[in-house]
Amino acid sequence: MKKIGVLALQGAVSEHLDAISRTGATAVAVKHPDQLHDLDGLILPGGESTTMRRLMKKYDLFETIQAFAKSGKGIFGTCAGLVLTAREIDGSDDETLGLIDTVVMRNGFGRQKDSFEAAIEIKGLKGDPFPAVFIRAPYIASVGEQVSVLATIDNKCIAAQQGKILVTAFHPELTGDTRLLELFIASL
């Protein structure tokens, strides 16, 4: 059975833990670097990327997560997690984990009042379109050669993968649909 952690510093932690449990995998709330050692994968949830970055630095998780990914473990970044995993944030000097060769646009779809839901097609998922929930969502402005674009909306990349790093601009944990999470777990 796979053991999947959720970075539990801020954001949609309980929703991700519940979704992981629904897949049959073991869910772990991660607050300390030593908790990463026996995980197969880690989810960086939605929330506020600046706050999450500061807390990751404060609790010595920033470099530990980078080392976790470099060791071949999987990371799934949703919304703020997508921002944190990027190589660069457009128009910002904020440090990122640099785990996926992307440039992201923070709040690319607008502010809180511009949040929306959409049924989207995701490469690799069978069946009905995925019910994506966008809340102050970023998008991926550009991708490197090694990055596979998995989904777009309005010609903006909203899901991508590079090796074992999967990112989405939306919140899959806020739906009852675990197919994307299952795809992530199966890749580990």
Query: Tell me, what CATH number does 95's domain have?
Result: 3.40.50.880
Specify the 3-state DSSP secondary structure of 166: strand
Residue 63 annotated among the catalytic residues of the structure: no
Dump pLDDT digits (tens) for 86-140.
999 999 999 999 999 999 999 999 988 999 999 999 999 999 999 999 999 999 9
Question: What was the pLDDT predicted at 108?
Answer: 96
Which residue of the set 15, 16, 79, 157 is catalytic?
79
Q: Which residues contact 25 (CB under 8 A, 6 or more apart)?
A: 1, 2, 3, 4, 185
Report the Cα 59 to chain-centroid distance in Å: 20
Q: Is 48 annotated as a binding residue?
A: yes
Q: How many domains does the chain have?
A: 1
Judge whether 176 is annotated as a binding position.
no
Reply yes or no on whether 171 is catalytic.
yes
Q: Is 47 annotated as a binding residue?
A: yes
Angle formed by the axes of helices 49-58 and 62-70, to 10°? 90
Domain boundaries, position 149: 3-186
Instruction: Please pick, among 15, 16, 157, 171, the residue that the annotation labels catalytic.
Output: 171
- Consult the annotation and say whether 136 binds a ligand: yes
What is the per-residue pLDDT across 46-98, written as a single tens digit (0 to 9) for each?
Answer: 999 999 999 999 999 999 999 999 999 999 999 999 999 999 999 999 999 99
pLDDT value at residue 165: 98
Mark whether 79 is an active-site residue: yes
Q: Which region, left, alpha or beta, applies to residue 107 given φ > 0 means left and ψ of -120 to 50 means alpha? A: left
